[in-house]
Chains A and B, each alone.
Chain A
Amino acid sequence: MKHRRHVLPLAVVATLALPPAGAMAQGSSRHLPAQGQHITLTELDWNPTGPDSTFFNEVNKAFEQQHPGVTVQRTAISFNADVSTIRLRAASPSAPCIIGANEGWSGVGALAKDNLLVPLNKYAQQYHWFTRYPTAVLAQQMVSANGKELGTGTLYEMATVLAGPQSIYYNKQLLSQLHLAVPSTLAQLEHDMAVAKAHGIVPMELGLQDQVQITVPLYQVLDAVTPAKQLSNFVYGIGKPTVASIGMTKAAGVIQTWAKDGYFPKDELGISSSQAQNNFFAGQGLFFPAWPGYSGTAAQDARTGVFALDGPNGRAEDQDNSNQPLGITRSCKYVSLAAQYLNYVSGPAAGRVAVHLGLVPQISVQGSSAGGDLLFRSELGLANRVAASNGYVPYFDLSTLTMLTTLERAGQSLVAGRMTPQAFTAALQSDYSAFHGS
């Protein structure tokens, strides 16, 4: 998701002037540039616009300054273009050295299976990546030796410092007017929405014309009813889990009840997610389920807060992945240098750049300030809370190649009342079984 924050150029420049953490770490390698040699390190990511793009431009510039003779040649394409072409790009003899593939079977799973990425365990040990990041985040970049399980085995991509936890935004003014507290449990959320509905306020702004937004409320409910470990095992294909066994029918039932009770706007299937966002920031709805980085004007941000529902055991648990994981392709000639780049783009210096650009980092960033943007401070607080409890859960739809499409289509039928929660679960199970075989 794209972030739109106020950029603080001076702060960024000051940040870049700070000494790099872990730069040019531990000795040299045959893949490092010799004295006077000029190297072009090619890099591909899916952030062509916005602060995320600025982040990469700034970080690449800083990396070049610390590595004389190295030029980072960046290519940025859209996320959809990346997902649909990443395997062909990685298989090319002229593939970029550093490449961004999505988590899950369509990205890192497929590339690892096709032997297109360099294993990173050696560098993870060298640069202490496993202690830098929550294991729940790095597990999403791991693939088993037989290529049949995710979340375990070899690390094939490194999470960059950009985080992407799902959450629910709320309108502080409306919440205050209704004398409600920020919910942290499913029961509290449902109570708040019932009160809003009774006062003629749209409880939750939702736009499903472009399908994808159904995932956020559904995953929030799923997180609230099912422990993180159980959800992770399901996504990674560990054991013999079923969709029903992770509480999907219950979660789907909750969503359908919300739709029937009028907690979503009328004609939600004909509203796009961006229109729902506009409606929320215009003050029309109490809650808005989304990824981080949704914001409006400064005034709108000031009346907006963010939260995520706790897990069933009261722990802070949330579906999240790195907003831009990066791996090294087999055709890369400068593997050690590329690993240094991954270390830099996932490290504290990059984290400070992210914070100053208004982007939520995966790691706790010392020596930085979120400034006066209360919404961003709220997002940072949520991210730190989930990271502290190692409560990150991989997105449910990473469980198969086609789960997102299946879920989005079935989700529209569920909300429209054309499919029962049981049928919804059966549709997802059919997709899961077809992919994992059972």
Chain B
Amino acid sequence: MPSTAPDVLLTDAGLVRPASVAAGIAPGPAVASRPRRRKTDLWPYLYVLPVLAVFGVFLLVPLVQGIWYSFTSWDGIGPAPWAGLSNYISIWTNPVMREGLANTGVLVLFYAGAPIVAGLFTAALIGRRGMRGMGFYRTVLFLPQVLSSVVVIVIWRLLLAPAGPVNQSLGAMGLGFLRADWLGSFSITLDVLGLIGSWVAFGFCMLLFLAGIQAIPTELYDAAKVDGASPVREFFAVTLPGLRGQMAVAMTLSVIGAFQAFDIIWLVTQGGPGTSSVTPAINLYNDAFVSQNVGAAAAMGVVMLGASLVVTLVIVRLVEGRRNA
């Protein structure tokens, strides 16, 4: 973040950090009055050393190892013969791998798009101050987020079984023509699994946006009302711009969640029927634990990491770019 112009925030007490002003916190000590830094101040580094050590041992070292193994045909035991780029090439040449990547595109819509839209809508509805029972709604709607994947799957498998409540209800309402083999169809199962993912992610997005709405100054809403803005206009003119930061967080996390989609799909279809719901993470698992080709699994992991980083950078760029504009 570039620093803001200091003369704007010049007070009688001296230079004050802009964040303190924005948050309404009492002015901090003047920068001008700070003691001069010692030449070799190692204490801060010593304080963070334990965290850095843990970070290095449990994240950086495995990351570097994983990247190294992605260029080998290591089977998980013993030596790791050099394989060059073959693991990466096979990701693009293997039809099942390509299908997994294509399915991720569909899942992004369900894991990121749908929960964000639904979360925004719900947060706008129940986020208005003074609304009664907001705590109850918030708890109920957030509940799927705290359920374990296994519980989620048990619920949905029961609901979506061929003779389950969903098909029975459709039949009872005279909508029998809509009945489907929801979790056993080559054409719709991936979408259904995506919807289950949406249901899980929705609560998180909603809660994030609710928190964001609480932080939007009430004066802005008052001003909108004075100007005669309708609730819809108020949403687009005040709420939505005020939630840009939260949207960036929600989009980043949910898109990464789509890239890493595994548990729900594995527990229901294991990538089936056929290969219609395979994902990169399922392919990674099969490479590592079924094919005993850890090198290929590592390559898939690196591709997933790279894709996640790119998506994060793009989202941050978009949001920060607009913020700075």
Contact = CB atoms under 8 A, between A and B. Distances in A.
Contacts of A401: 290-292
Contacts of B76: 87-88
B113 interface: no
B168 interface: no
Contacts of A270: 160-162, 181-185
Nearest to A415: B273
B78 interface: yes
B273 A84 contact: no
Given A210-B270, A410-B274, A402 B290 contact: yes
Given A88-B77, A209-B269, A267-B162, A409 B184 contact: no
Most chain-B Cβ atoms within 10 A of its Cβ — which of A88, A91, A413?
A413
A275 interface: yes
A271 interface: yes
Q: Chain B: interface residue count, which band?
A: 20 to 34
Contacts of A402: 286, 290-291
B286 A271 contact: no
B268 interface: yes
Interface in B230-282: 268-275
Given A87-B76, A114-B77, A209-B183, A412 B161 contact: no
Interface residues of A, number: 32
Interface string B180-214: 01111110000000000000000000000000000
B289 interface: yes
Nearest to B78: A114
A269 B292 contact: no
A404 B289 CA distance: 13
B318 to A, nearest CB: 38
Given A209-B268, A275-B161, A110 B273 contact: no
A274 to B, nearest CB: 10
Given A87-B77, A269-B185, A270-B183, A106 B290 contact: yes
Most chain-B Cβ atoms within 10 A of its Cβ — which of A210, A267, A271, A412?
A267
Contacts of A267: 162, 181, 184
B167 to A, nearest CB: 9
Interface string B42-80: 000000000000000000000000000000000011100
Interface in A61-117: 83-84, 87-88, 91, 106, 110, 114, 116
A211 interface: yes
A331 interface: no
Nearest to A418: B186
A87 B291 CA distance: 13
A409 B274 contact: yes
Interface in A243-296: 266-272, 275
Contacts of A88: 76-77
A434 to B, nearest CB: 10
Contacts of A268: 184
Nearest to B287: A402
A2 B274 CA distance: 26
Contacts of B186: 413, 416, 418
A401 B289 CA distance: 10
Nearest to A419: B274
A408 interface: yes
B157 interface: yes
Nearest to A410: B274
B162 A271 contact: yes
A125 B152 CA distance: 53
A416 B157 CA distance: 20
Nearest to B269: A209
A116 B157 CA distance: 41
A208 interface: yes
B78 A208 contact: no
Nearest to B158: A275
A188 interface: no
Contacts of A269: 181, 184-185, 272-273
A328 to B, nearest CB: 18
Contacts of A418: 186, 274
Contacts of B289: 83-84
Contacts of B274: 409-410, 412-413, 416, 418
A218 B162 CA distance: 24
Nearest to A207: B184
A297 B181 CA distance: 30
Contacts of B160: 270
Contact of A405 (B78, B185, B286): B286
Interface in B140-181: 157, 160-162, 181
A413 B273 contact: yes
A416 B290 contact: no
Contacts of A209: 183-184, 268-269, 272
7 tightest A-B CB contacts, nearest first? A270-B184, A269-B184, A267-B162, A84-B289, A270-B181, A267-B181, A412-B273
Interface of A: 83-84, 87-88, 91, 106, 110, 114, 116, 208-211, 266-272, 275, 401-402, 404-405, 408-410, 412-413, 416, 418
22 contacts: A110-B292, A116-B77, A208-B184, A209-B269, A211-B272, A266-B162, A269-B184, A269-B273, A270-B160, A270-B183, A271-B161, A272-B157, A401-B291, A402-B290, A404-B290, A405-B290, A409-B271, A409-B272, A412-B273, A412-B274, A413-B273, A416-B274
